[in-house]
């Protein structure tokens, strides 16, 4: 397994601390002799959802085998890794930690043995009653091997006395609260589940006779599978040799809580989630942004890759030409070492380079999807100024983040958010831009198909669909900080 590089020696995530970080990516496939390899490809397509760790579990119908490690999919898996992974069922997981440290023992899928056999679990999302449940379980004798909230699901299943794994799962789901999409497997079945409000996406696909589960449709596209449908909020799907069985773990809710930031930033532009293609939504975000915050400028410049689609929409709506003046280095991974403050200050240039000839003497509109902390955006604007930009206008394709997220985005406190500490004018001065414009909440909600009541907008307005119980922080289960 790949050696873990200490946090002090590696960069901030994606070399960009202005970006929110999302929890995980999931993939699973049933009834395919190349299941582990196809799962590898599925994870490869979903790499944007998590770069800390990854893993694959496979079953030949009798035994479950596992390989996982810290780092990118291409680093953790090679031909040797697949020598011990064989079978017709497989699930895979990509991790970005929103609960629990970034260490190997927290990598998923979690593989456990219990009285009725073996079970593997992969989780995308975040639970909000984590600490309460953990303390109750430990006080009644449970022993935990990780500091990830996902293990609580397994421990609850183990407590249930019913012999049927699906009934055990439903028992656990009724105890937990928060955001979760799950892929699970036993030696002879593949299982998917989604929380009652549907925070995180989960889709089902078909490849010949094989059935798949994935966080996004881009993973289905890569292996040539066709989208069947989304797993519904509150639904558990069980895939066996007899086909698909659907069980309602919860009654249908009046409204859902789809994370609209999946459309703004997290999901790949070629994915179809929550009833929309991500690319088309981002173009609409950019078009609404142009209507709300017009400016007289020479070029629209996207921040790649997440700002590109919105910049296309802004350009088309405003009539201002689009220029790809920021060139991204796609070969920078999480292990880029920053040995000195001087090199750390060059971090933005390591990942992005600016075309001097395009922007010198020009009035430019930079379009990005979000600003969380503001430090990287400030450095980027400074670079544009230094290269001779005459005017710099900043446009953001979502509202200002003012409140923490507890459902799978890695900002748990308001002090991390620049918009919670500064006014719009203060942010403009801090970034040193001529004008600054965020898309309104109304403009964002006009860009998606589902009724606005079906989206979670808590990180913008502070109205939470599920109340958080006690402290919810990334290291809430670490003994050194909470005493559990």
Q: How far apart are CA 93 and CA 153, in angstroms?
A: 16
Report the catalytic residues. Answer: 24
Other C-beta atoms lying within 10 Å of the C-beta of residue 185: 30
Instruction: Return the structure tokens found at 263.
Output: 């459309």
Q: How far apart are CA 415 and CA 436, in angstroms?
A: 21
Nearest to 409 by CA among 199, 217, 182: 199
Contacts of 58 (CB under 8 A, 6+ apart): 35, 36, 39, 64, 65, 66, 85, 86, 87, 89, 90
DSSP-assigned states of every residue in 173-204: HTT--EEEEEEEE-SS-EEEEE-TT--S--EE
Residue 261 — φ and ψ, nearest 5°?
Answer: -70, -15
Q: Are strands 363-368 and 299-302 parallel, antiparallel or unpaired?
A: parallel
Give, in degrees to the nearest 5, the angle at Cα 369 between 408 and 284. 110
Q: Strand runs (DSSP E) across 288-417, as ranges?
A: 299-302, 326-328, 352-354, 363-368, 391-396
Number of helices followed by number of strands (H, E) in the chain: 18, 23
């Amino acid at each position: 397994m790949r050696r873990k590089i200490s946090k002090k020696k590696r960069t901030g995530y994606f070399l960009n601390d202005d970006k929110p970080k999302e929890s995980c990516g999931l993939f699973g496939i049933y009834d395919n002799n190349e299941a582990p390899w196809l799962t590898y490809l599925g994870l490869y397509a979903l790499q944007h959802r998590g770069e800390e760790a990854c893993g694959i579990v496979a079953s030949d119908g009798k035994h479950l085998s596992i390989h996982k490690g810290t780092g990118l999919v291409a680093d953790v898996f090679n031909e040797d890794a697949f020598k011990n992974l064989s079978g017709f069922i497989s699930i895979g997981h990509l991790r970005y930690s929103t609960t629990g440290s970034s260490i190997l023992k927290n990598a998923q899928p979690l593989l456990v043995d219990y009285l009725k056999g073996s079970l593997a679990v992969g989780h995308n999302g975040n639970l909000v009653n984590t600490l309460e449940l953990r303390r109750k379980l430990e006080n009644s004798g449970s022993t935990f091997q990780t500091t990830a909230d996902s293990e609580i699901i397994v421990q609850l299943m183990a407590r249930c006395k019913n012999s049927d794994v699906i009934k055990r799962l439903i028992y656990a789901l009724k105890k937990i609260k928060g955001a979760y999409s799950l892929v699970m497997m036993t030696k002879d079945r593949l299982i998917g589940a989604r929380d009652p409000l549907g925070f995180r996406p989960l889709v089902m696909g078909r490849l010949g006779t094989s059935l798949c589960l994935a966080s996004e449709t881009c993973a289905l596209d890569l292996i040539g599978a066709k989208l069947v449908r989304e797993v519904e909020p509150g639904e558990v799907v069980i895939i066996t040799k007899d086909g698909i069985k659907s069980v309602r773990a919860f009654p249908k809710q009046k409204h859902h809580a789809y994370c609209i930031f999946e459309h703004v930033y997290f999901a790949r532009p070629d994915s179809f989630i929550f009833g929309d293609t991500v690319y088309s939504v981002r173009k609409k975000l950019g078009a609404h942004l142009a209507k709300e915050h017009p400016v007289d400028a020479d070029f629209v410049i996207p921040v790649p890759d997440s700002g590109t689609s919105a910049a296309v929409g802004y350009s088309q709506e405003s009539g201002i030409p689009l220029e790809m003046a920021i060139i991204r280095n796609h070969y920078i991974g999480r292990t880029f070492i920053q040995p000195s403050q001087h090199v750390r200050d060059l971090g933005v240039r390591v990942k992005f380079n600016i075309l001097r000839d395009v922007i010198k003497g020009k009035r430019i509109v930079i379009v990005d999807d979000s600003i969380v902390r503001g430090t990287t955006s400030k450095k980027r604007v400074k670079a544009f100024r230094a290269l001779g930009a005459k005017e710099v206008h900043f446009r953001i394709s979502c509202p200002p983040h003012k409140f923490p997220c507890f459902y799978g985005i890695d900002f748990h406190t308001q002090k991390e958010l620049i918009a919670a500490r500064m006014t719009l004018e203060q942010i403009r001065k801090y970034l040193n831009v001529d004008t600054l414009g965020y898309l309104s909440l109304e403009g964002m909600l006009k860009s998606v198909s589902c009724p606005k009541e079906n989206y979670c907008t808590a990180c913008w307005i502070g109205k939470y669909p599920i109340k958080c119980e006690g402290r919810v922080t990334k290291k809430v289960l670490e003994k050194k900080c909470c005493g559990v």
